Copies of this chain bind each other. A is one copy, B any other.
Amino acid sequence: MIGYPNKKSPAIKQSSPTTYQGRGMSLEHDLNISNTYYREVKRALIHKKPTPVQVVRVDYPSRNCAKIVEAYYKTPSTTDYNGIYRGRAIDFEAKETKQKTLFPMKYIHEHQIHHLEQVLYHGGIGFVIIRFIHYNETYVLDAQIMIDCYRDENRKSITYQEVKKQGLLIREGLTPRLRYLDAVDELYFKEANNHER
């Protein structure tokens, strides 16, 4: 989902500090502010990649001002987020669904699966963040589980129960909004945690 700058962002609802229901924020927004927080406290260096745009025509209404007047969205060749966490390369895609019982595989694209396969091959940490909007629950699901499901021709979806069981629920808060690196610690650094932290 692309947030156009002329579309006003919804104001942050300052509700009771103990409940974070119904904020109406998109997953992308939540991840962006969480990543900014993680960068500021130097916990991780993770950015959302810009949406690739094919620029066709640029005007120069004045010196030092380039105005793009014709461009088109391109299909990305990677996932949306990547960076470095605890010395490891980290790479993930984020998706949300309004479905209650399943996450449809068609929400994930071939290029994203292919990219995640390469991430794992080269020794990076790869996963998918899935939000079930209905339950206001967001999960970290290891890339391999998503890849296996996608590559299984008999499957058109992964069920909510499977994600609940095989993924890890992300705790939410104010800062960071989505404490997804705690889930990453649990999933990928469990041994190290016992020693380091």
Chain A residues in contact with chain B, CB under 8 A? 2, 4-6, 39, 42, 44-45, 47, 49-58, 66-74, 76-78, 82-91, 115, 118-119, 121-124
User: Taking A47-B77, A77-B47 as contacts, is the C-beta distance between A122 and B85 under 8 angstroms?
Assistant: yes
A84 touches B6 (CB 8 A): no
B44 touches A5 (CB 8 A): no
B56 touches A53 (CB 8 A): no
Q: Which residues of B contact A54 (CB under 8 A)?
A: 5
Q: Which residues of B contact A57 (CB under 8 A)?
A: 4, 6
User: Taking A53-B68, A68-B73, A89-B88 as contacts, is the C-beta distance between A45 and B2 under 8 angstroms?
Assistant: no
User: Taking A53-B55, A68-B68 as contacts, is the C-beta distance between A44 and B4 under 8 angstroms?
Assistant: no
CA distance A54 to B55 in the complex (A): 12
CA distance A35 to B76 in the complex (A): 16
Q: Which residues of B contact A70 (CB under 8 A)?
A: 67-69
CA distance A5 to B56 in the complex (A): 6
B47 touches A50 (CB 8 A): no
Query: Quick one: which of B50, B82, B83 contacts A53, CB cutoff 8 A?
Result: B50
User: Taking A2-B55, A53-B53, A67-B72 as contacts, is the C-beta distance between A45 and B85 under 8 angstroms?
Assistant: no
B45 touches A118 (CB 8 A): yes
CA distance A78 to B83 in the complex (A): 10
Q: List 13 A-B contacts (CB under 8 A).
A: A42-B121, A45-B115, A45-B124, A47-B77, A49-B50, A50-B50, A50-B74, A69-B70, A82-B82, A84-B91, A84-B122, A84-B124, A87-B123
